[in-house]
Amino acid sequence: MKHNNPRARVLLTSPIHPDMQALLASQCDIVIAPDTQASTYKRLIRDVHGVIVRNQLPPDIFEDAPLTRAVVRHGVGLDMIPVPAATEKKIAVANLPGCNSQAVAEYCIAGMLALRRNLAGMDASLRKDGWSKARPAADHYLELGASTLGIVGVGSIGSLIASMAQGLGMKVLGLTRRPETLPKGVIAADKELLFAQSDAVVLACPLTDQTRNLVDHSTIATMKKRAILINVSRGPVVDTDALVIALREGRLGGALLDVFDKQPLTGTEQIFDCLNLMLTPHCAGITESSSFVTSEGAVQTMLALLKNERPKNVVNPEVFKD
C-alpha cells in the first residue's frame, strides 16, 4: 500500500450522516461529488487518498488514481465497486456487513404486511367510497401467520428476516449456497421447491452471474397465484418484463421492489402501470439510525485504512502483502 499523508483527502460520492461527515472533516479534507457522472468521479479521484462509496463507480475508475489507497462501501453490496481493479492497484476495499440488516429486515416484513392487508388501499377506499363499500374487501385479505416465506440469500439480512417471520408464525424456506449455515428452524430448499411452495418470496442475495435473472418467466410460472415477491437485493435479479406481465395478467398476488435495472427511475417505466406493485427508491436499508451506524462504520474504517491499519472488514486483504 502507498505511504500515509498527514492530511488526507477523501471523496464522498454522496454526503453521509452529518455528524460522521463532521468527524471525518476534522481529520481529513472532504471532497463531495457534485453529481453521479462517471466522468466526475474519474476527475475527482485523481487527487484523493480515499473514497466512501454510495453510488456506482465506473469500471475504469482506478486507472488514473495515483494517490488512492482506500475505498469503503457505505453499505454492504460490493457491486458498486470494481474490486478486482482496486486489488490490482493495491487499493484496499472494505464494506460494512450487517450495518443495515435491521432496517432492511423490517422493511421486508412491513412490505409483506402492506401487500397482504392492503392498508393503503383500504384507507383510500374508505375515504373515497365510504365505510360500507370499503369494509367487504377485508374478507379477501390474507394473514402472514401459518403461511410460507421463501428467502433467497440467507445472510445477515435473510437470517434476521427469517427470525422475524418465525415470530409471526410463518414457515421459512431458505435458498443459500451453504445450507449448513441456515438459522435454526429455516428449512433448506432448492430454487424449484422454494418458489413453488412459498406464499411470499424475499430476494436478499447478491447479484452474481448465477442470480442474474433468477426470477424469470419460467420461475414466476411456478409460483402460487397469490404469492408476493419482494426484492431488496439488486434489480437484475428479477426479469422486470416477466414480472410486469405476470402482474398485469393477475398471475401474482403482488410485489414490492426497492431496486431496479436502471436507477434512478424516471417515472416512465412500464412498472408504474402495474397494479399490486409497490415501489420505493432503493431505501430499504435507510433509516435515521441505520444511516448513522453505516456512516460511523464507513468513517472509522476509512480513518483506520488511512493510518495504514488493517480492519477485519477489508474484502481484499491481499493488498497488504509486500
What stretch of H or E contains 163?
helix 156-167
Contact 55, 36 (CB under 8 A): yes
In angstroms, the CA 116 to CA 112 distance is: 6
Residue 321 confidence (pLDDT) above 90: no
Other Cβ atoms less than 10 A from the Cβ of 31: the count is 15
- The CA distances from residue 238 to 3, 194, 232, 233, in Å, are 43, 16, 11, 9
Residue 199: which of 229, 175, 221, 176 has the closest Cα?
229
Domain segments of the chain: what residues? 9-99+288-320, 101-279
Strands (E), the chain: 9-12, 29-32, 50-53, 70-73, 92-94, 148-152, 171-175, 187-188, 200-203, 228-231, 254-257, 277-279
Give the architecture (CATH level 2) of 101-279: 3-Layer(aba) Sandwich (3.40)
What band does 22 get if pLDDT is binned at 50, 70 and 90? very high
Instruction: For 143-189, write each residue's pLDDT tens digit.
Output: 999 999 999 999 999 999 999 999 999 999 999 999 999 999 999 99
**Within this chain, domains 9-99+288-320 and 101-279 share the same CATH topology:** yes
Q: Which CATH superfamily is domain 9-99+288-320 in?
A: NAD(P)-binding Rossmann-like Domain (3.40.50.720)
Say what the pLDDT of residue 257 is. Answer: 98
Instruction: For 196-236, write each residue's pLDDT tens digit.
Output: 999 999 999 999 999 999 999 999 999 999 999 999 999 99
Q: What is the mean pLDDT of the chain?
A: 96
DSSP states of 272-300: GG-TTEEE--S-TT--HHHHHHHHHHHHH
Looking up cell 486489488 gives 87
Q: Name every residue whose Cβ is closer than 8 Å to that of residue 39 and which is 6 or more positions away in sequence.
A: none
Residues 287-308, mean pLDDT to the nearest whole number:
97
Phi and psi dihedrals of 40, rounded to 5? -65, -45
